[in-house]
Structure 1
Amino acid sequence: MTPTSPAPADAAAATRPAPAAHPLWVVVPAHQEAARLPGTLDALAAQTDRDFTLLVVDNASTDGTARLARRFAERAPFPVHVVTEPEKGVGSAVDTGFRYAIAHGATLLARTDADCLPHPGWSAAARAALDSGAGLVCGRVVARPDEHGPAGRAAFRLLVGLAALFGRLRPAHRRRHGYLAPYRMHAGNNMAITARLYQEVGGMPRRPSPTDRLFLNRVRRRTTAIAHERRMVVGNSTRRLRAYGLAGTARWYLDKGPGRHGEDPR
């Protein structure tokens, strides 16, 4: 029997570059998170959509954080990269991670933190929102169930609600200042963005936390394609609430710094 020749369409396809295997990358900045990082990694491994590459950015840790991430890579259901950012500060770690991912083929970027627990549908919701035309997606944050009792979780909900209200009412956030989109609550530990938009706005401010509001306002000056996705849920650590108290945590989220407190517990 004479072998058949490949159809012309097949030959043409063979000459085209293969698409990136994992255009979605999940970036997790981590500083001294050896105790909590395994829970975050397990939550990512339990996602319903695991078609992504994970990047853990070790931000000057001395407690074995990077070693734990590399050990997880041996059993992870997706590719895992681990890089080091020696410049302390969540902004520096996130910016280094996003730019590394883009340089390695990422077109979609999602971020959570090394003390957070993304719910199982988190990555799927992030991808769907970006595929539907959003440039930046802001998810919903809830308190982790394992760090505080009902009163602590209620206090956390109150803080999130107050922060969202303050952001909407703050005079500096009004659209007359050049913003194209209204302000909406944005938590850096639960976000997704296109690589193109990330580069267009100049990236994450390379500074210690809080960086979320500054970054959101960069995006608001660039586009109206900002979406809130309620199905994109992350269990947020309440360590800061325990360390700072209600008033101190509110001060932090108002960008007033840690006050009398030392290093951010997160």
Structure 2
Amino acid sequence: MNHRLPEQLAPHPAGGGAAERTGPRLWVVVPAYQEAARIGATLDALARQHDRDFTLLVVDNASTDGTADIVRRFAARAPFPVRVLTEPEKGVGCAVDTGFRYAIGHGATHLARTDADCLPRPGWTAAARATLTRLGEGMVCGRLDARRDEHGPLGRAAFRTLVAIAAAFGRLRPAHRPRHGFRAPYRMHAGNNMAITASLYLAVGGMPRRPSPTDRAFLNRVRRHTADIARCRRMVVENSTRRLRAYGLVGTARWYLDLGSGRHTADPR
């Protein structure tokens, strides 16, 4: 099912920590496609985490712009182990599923995901680990904000408005009501700011292997299986607003509401 190439183990300083941990083993998975211009900032944001006791796995979705090379150079100075995996089957769902299953196969008990154009704030991994530990088996969704280096106050306000509209639409959507077999109420879930236990990920069948958007379909898989879905406001990721620039306000709203991307490509990268 997974059309992945052999792993490439990037070098890291001795004593990275994650391999020595005897308790829950956290892996951070970052799918990436043509992200040479942005992934450096994402890697630096991960290096600034308060909790750096994790393994970073970047899943390169067959980029041609040197994305993976940037990750390998970062590995030489990273304060945690770094691995690079190539997934030739295009689609963010394919890259995420391959990465999560690889991490689980190599000992991960807890999985966190962000994207290669996002900036997790310094308390992100600590909040993810703490919430998953409290749940025992479950999933946690964090809070999104807009990157300050891509838009001014008006652009960031527009982004927050779109997220709020999408969340409200999801709660009101008839297909998301309990009568459809859901064990938890609908709550906005962004794939670039989530964490899940390995056992739950496998139990629900994993991420749909398809291009974006995949978040809502995955959330509903989890909602049909368990009510242990938490929201953690301390788990914050600054999200890229480039889709807003590429699609415009109306086009971005259509995409968030699952109405398609219209005349735009599904991926503005």
Same fold (TM over 0.5): yes
Q: Distance in 2 between matches of 1:78 and 1:127?
A: 16
Q: Distance in 1 between matches of 2:81 and 2:52?
A: 10
User: CA offset at residue 159 of structure 1?
Assistant: 0.2
Identify which of 82, 85, 88 aligns with 1:83: 85
Q: Distance in 2 between matches of 1:142 and 1:177?
A: 31
- Residue 6 of structure 1 corresponds to none
Identify which of 210, 228, 233 aligns with 2:231: 228
Identify which of 220, 241, 262 aligns with 1:259: 262
Aligned-residue CA RMSD (Å):
1.2
Q: Distance in 1 between matches of 2:23 and 2:80?
A: 11
Structure 2 stretches lacking a partner, 5+ long = 1-19
Count of matched residue pairs: 249
Larger Rg: 1
- Residue 13 of structure 1 corresponds to none
What is the TM-score when the length of structure 1 is the normalising length? Answer: 0.92
* Structure 1 contact 180–221 (Cα < 8 Å) conserved: yes
The 5-angstrom pairing of residues 70-149 of structure 1 reads 70-133=72-135, 135-149=138-152
* Structure 1 contact 22–51 (Cα < 8 Å) conserved: no
* Structure 1 contact 20–105 (Cα < 8 Å) conserved: no
- Residue 43 of structure 1 corresponds to 45
User: CA offset at residue 21 of structure 1?
Assistant: 7.8
Q: 1:155-183, CA deviations, whole angstroms, 9 ceiling, x for partnerless residues?
A: 00000000000000000000111000000
Q: Report the residue type matching 1:256 in the other structure.
A: L
* Structure 1 contact 243–265 (Cα < 8 Å) conserved: yes
The 5-angstrom pairing of residues 1-266 of structure 1 reads 23-133=25-135, 135-266=138-269
- Matched residue SS, 1:197: helix
**Cα distance, 1:263–1:211 mapped onto 2, change above 3 Å:** closer
Q: Distance in 1 between matches of 2:229 and 2:215?
A: 14
Q: Report the residue type matching 1:84 in the other structure.
A: T
Q: Report the residue type matching 2:242 in the other structure.
A: R
Structure 1 stretches lacking a partner, 5+ long = 1-17
Q: 1:70-123, CA deviations, whole angstroms, 9 ceiling, x for partnerless residues?
A: 111111000000000001100000000000000000000000000000000000
What is the TM-score when the length of structure 2 is the normalising length? Answer: 0.91
* Structure 2 contact 29–99 (Cα < 8 Å) conserved: yes
Q: 1:5-52, CA deviations, whole angstroms, 9 ceiling, x for partnerless residues?
A: xxxxxxxxxxxxx86587100000000000000000000000000000
Task: Provide runs of 4+ in structure 1 moved above 6 Å.
Answer: none
Stretch deviating more after TM superposition (109-118 or 21-30)? 21-30
Q: Distance in 2 between matches of 1:228 and 1:22?
A: 20
- Matched residue SS, 1:156: helix
